[in-house]
Structure 1
Amino acid sequence: MNVHFSAGVPVERAGLHHDVVRLTDLRRRFGRTAALDGVSLTVHKGEILGIIGRSGAGKSTLIRCLNGLERPDSGEVFIEGREISRLGERDLQPLRRRIGMIFQHFNLLSAKTVVQNVALPLKIAGIGKAERVRRAAELLDLVGLPEKAGSYPAQLSGGQKQRVGIARALAANPALLLSDEATSALDPETTRSILALLKDINRRFGLTILLITHEMEVIRSIADRVAVIDQGRIVEEGPVWSVFAEPKSEVTQRLLAGMRPQLPPEIAGRLSPEPVGEAVLRIDIFGDAARQALLSDLAGTLKVSFRLIHGGIETIQGEPVGTLFLMIPGGGEDVARVSQFLQARGARTEVLGHVAGDA
Structure 2
Amino acid sequence: MNKHVTGKPAQTAASEEDVIRLSDVRRRFGATPALDGVSLDVRRGEILGIIGRSGAGKSTLIRCLNGLERPDSGTIEIEGREITGLSEAELQPLRRRIGMIFQHFNLLSAKTVEENVALPLKIEGWAKAKRLARAAELLDLVGLTGKAKAYPSELSGGQKQRVGIARALAASPALLLSDEATSALDPETTRSILALLKDINRKLGLTILLITHEMEVVRNIADRVTVLDAGRIVEEGPVWQVFSRPQAETTKSLLSGIRPQLPAHIAQSLTADIAGEAILSLDIAGPAATGPLFQKLSEEFPGGYRLVHGGVDHIQEQAVGRFFIAVPADAAARLVSFAERLGAQVEVLGHVADHA
Q: Same fold (TM over 0.5)?
A: yes
Bigger drift between 64-73 and 298-307 goes to 298-307
What is the one-letter code of the residue matched to 1:340?
S
Equivalent-residue separation in structure 1 for 2:354 and 2:335 (angstroms): 21
1:36–1:61 CA contact under 8 A, matched in 2: yes
What is the one-letter code of the residue matched to 1:128?
A
What is the one-letter code of the residue matched to 1:353?
G
Q: Does 1:338 align with 2:339?
A: no
Equivalent-residue separation in structure 1 for 2:287 and 2:140 (angstroms): 42
* Alpha-carbon distance, 1:17 to partner: 2.4
* Alpha-carbon distance, 1:189 to partner: 0.7
RMSD in angstroms over aligned alpha carbons?
1.3
Match of 1:72 in 2: 71
Equivalent-residue separation in structure 2 for 1:45 and 1:115 (angstroms): 29
What is the one-letter code of the residue matched to 2:255?
L
Equivalent-residue separation in structure 2 for 1:196 and 1:209 (angstroms): 13
1:195–1:221 CA contact under 8 A, matched in 2: yes
Match of 2:172 in 1: 173
Match of 2:235 in 1: 236
TM-score (normalised: structure 2)? 0.93
- How many residue pairs end up in the alignment? 342
Percent identity for Structure 1 against Structure 2: 69
Match of 2:159 in 1: 160
What is the one-letter code of the residue matched to 1:309?
V
Equivalent-residue separation in structure 2 for 1:352 and 1:37 (angstroms): 33
Equivalent-residue separation in structure 2 for 1:295 and 1:271 (angstroms): 24
Match of 2:145 in 1: 146
1:288–1:346 CA contact under 8 A, matched in 2: no
Output one character per residue of 1:31-53: Cα deviation in whole Å (capped at 9) or x when no partner: 11111111111010000011111
* Alpha-carbon distance, 1:357 to partner: 4.4
Match of 2:80 in 1: 81
Deviating above 4 A after TM superposition, structure 1's stretches of 4 or more consecutive aligned residues are none
Paired residues for 1:1-359 under 5 Å: 17-329=16-328, 331-332=329-330, 334-359=331-356
TM-score (normalised: structure 1)? 0.92
Residue 148 of structure 1 aligns to a residue whose secondary structure is coil
Equivalent-residue separation in structure 2 for 1:229 and 1:221 (angstroms): 19
Name structure 1 gaps, 5 residues minimum: 1-15
Match of 2:8 in 1: none
Match of 1:10 in 2: none
What is the one-letter code of the residue matched to 1:347?
A
1:119–1:136 CA contact under 8 A, matched in 2: yes
Residue 146 of structure 2 aligns to a residue whose secondary structure is helix
Q: Structure 1 residues 294, 54: closer, same or farther in 2, change over 3 A? A: same
Equivalent-residue separation in structure 2 for 1:178 and 1:211 (angstroms): 6
Output one character per residue of 1:76-126: Cα deviation in whole Å (capped at 9) or x when no partner: 111100111111111111110000000000000000000000000110111
* Alpha-carbon distance, 1:304 to partner: 4.0
Output one character per residue of 1:252-282: Cα deviation in whole Å (capped at 9) or x when no partner: 1110111111111122222222233222221
Residue 107 of structure 1 aligns to a residue whose secondary structure is coil
Name structure 2 gaps, 5 residues minimum: 1-14
Equivalent-residue separation in structure 1 for 2:303 and 2:348 (angstroms): 16
Equivalent-residue separation in structure 1 for 2:32 and 2:71 (angstroms): 13
Q: Structure 1 residues 358, 36: closer, same or farther in 2, change over 3 A? A: closer
